Amino acid sequence: MTSSPLEMVVIGGGLVGSTLAWGLARAGLQTTVLDGADLDPRASRANFALVWVQGKGVGKPAYALWSKASAERWPQLAAALLEDTGIDVSLNQNGGFSFALDPLELETWQAEMQDIVRETNGRAAPFEVLSGAETRDRLPFVGPDVVGSIYSPLDGHVNALRLFRALHMGMKKRNVDYRAGYPIERIEPVRDGFRLTGPKGTLVAQRIVLAAGLDNNRLAEMVGLHAPMKRSKGQILVTEKCAPFFDYTSATMRQTDEGGVMIGDSEETHTAAHATNQDISAVLANRAVRTFPVLGDLNIVRSWTGQRVKPLDGLPIYEQSAAHPGAFIAVCHSGVTLAANHALVVAPQIAAGALSHGLAAFGSQRFHASQTA
């Protein structure tokens, strides 16, 4: 093969890969995206679409602040996508509630939020702790079982389907070469970059970004990086579309801009199966109806599961390989929340050739340290 190496190849075309590829193209790089197969475990097609900061980063202040910064940057991303593609991703940042159904739950969350404030020297996102009555004053349709809530004004959500479409349209507009169904089996560092081999053939790239979700675990080792992942299956119920009644969001329940109510936030750590689990559906539905009794009349029209992309310690991993410079990795659980950081901060840094010291807390070396400790 004599063709010249591709300038920049992003392996993975999910939310993280698309966001970075769009950002890299905006930074002026000729970018290629190699996406996996339709039936791969695609977190991007199962996600809950939250821009969520509340409660993130207990004991990990860098993560709390990184999430907060991305939420603050989100309006800028939404505006840039609108300008590039004409698509409004329906960003709503009216704030988010965590509804407690017993006092201990509320106490635990409050303590965690206070820990985050302390660990970040007060720079964390603001929050309020509301009693049950105060919660119902703001949201009259919250049920009597809710004993209190945490409210944080920075939290929000988007329309995840339109976000994904906007990113793909944006990539197209900026001449990103997107190749669907192009799995990569092997990455070999070579003199002028990286040789990428899969069933569709072999390519050589000057630089690469690993953004392949769960598959980063396998790919990272090929370029001297590490991405140990934990198993985390989530399940979501979706109701029929209905007239607006909840113009905020919560980690367990949100009403989309189009009216459907999504109910979620389960986690199973023992299974890789795709099938939904009816026992978990029942728990999700029960909790949602206790929070908002009006949901009891609604029909559930969809239910699905997805495997979260969750690094072992829950934090994102961003790193350029020391052994093989030019190979970057970006893997995280919160592809929606962190999209603004990825497009507007991480992608320009990768384009410029180096990640900033600010991202050092998210290097994969931390996994070595924890293994030897």
Partner 1 sequence: MLRRLREVTDPVTFSFDGCPVTAERGDTLAAALLAGGIDTIRHSVVGDQPRAPYCLMGVCFECLVTVDGVQNRQSCLMEVRDGMVVASQRGGRQVLQGNR
Give the footprint of partner 1 on this chain (CB under 8 A): 141, 240-245, 258-259, 293-295, 297-299, 301
Closer CB to partner 1, residue 298 or residue 350?
298
Shortest reach from residue 340's CB to partner 1, in Å: 26
- Amino acid in position 126: P
| Shortest distance in whole angstroms from residue 145 CB to partner 1 | 16
Helix (H) or strand (E) holding 310: strand 310-311
Closer CB to partner 1, 120 or 303, in the complex: 303
The answer to whether 227 touches 364, Cβ cutoff 8 Å, is yes
Interaxial angle between packed helices 61-85 and 103-119, expressed in degrees from 0 to 180 and rounded to the nearest 10: 90
Tell me how far, at minimum, the Cβ of 101 lies from partner 1, in Å: 20
> Minimum distance from CB of 301 to partner 1 (Å)?
6
In the complex with partner 1, which residue's Cβ is closer, 19 or 239?
A: 239
Q: Are 228 and 312 in contact (CB under 8 A)?
A: yes
Residue nearer to partner 1 on the CB measure, 240 or 247: 240
> What is the spatial distance between Cα 24 and Cα 62, in angstroms, rounded to a whole number?
24
Phi, psi of 135 (to 5 degrees): -65, -45
Cβ proximity to partner 1, 126 vs 259, nearer residue? 259
CB nearer partner 1, residue 102 or residue 240 = 240
Question: For 124-228, where are the E strands, in sequence order?
Answer: 128-131, 148-152, 156-157, 177-179, 186-190, 193-198, 201-210
Task: Give Cβ neighbours of residue 276 (< 8 Å, ≥ 6 apart).
Answer: 235, 303, 304, 305
- Tell me how far, at minimum, the Cβ of 47 lies from partner 1, in Å: 20
Q: How many CB atoms lie within 10 A of CB 81?
A: 26
Residues written for the chain: 373
- Evaluate whether 21 touches 176 at the Cβ level (below 8 Å): yes
The stretches of 86-138 forming alpha helices (DSSP H) are: 103-119, 132-138
The answer to whether residues 327 and 343 touch, using CB atoms and an 8 Å cutoff, is: no
Nearer to partner 1, 283 or 301 (CB): 301
CA dist 300 and 230 (Å) reads 30
Residue 282: CB minimum distance to partner 1, A = 21
**Taking the complex as a whole, how short is the minimal distance between the CB of residue 90 and partner 1, in angstroms?**
11
CA distance 72 to 130: 23
For residues 238 and 361, which CB has a smaller minimum distance to partner 1 in the complex? 238
Q: Taking the complex as a whole, how short is the minimal distance between the CB of residue 306 and partner 1, in angstroms?
A: 21
Q: Which is nearer to partner 1, 247 or 258 (CB)?
A: 258
Contacts for 137 with CB less than 8 Å, ≥ 6 apart:
none
Minimum Å gap between C-beta 241 and partner 1 is: 4
Nearest to 182 by CA among 35, 55, 52, 81: 35
**Amino acid identity, residue 168?**
H
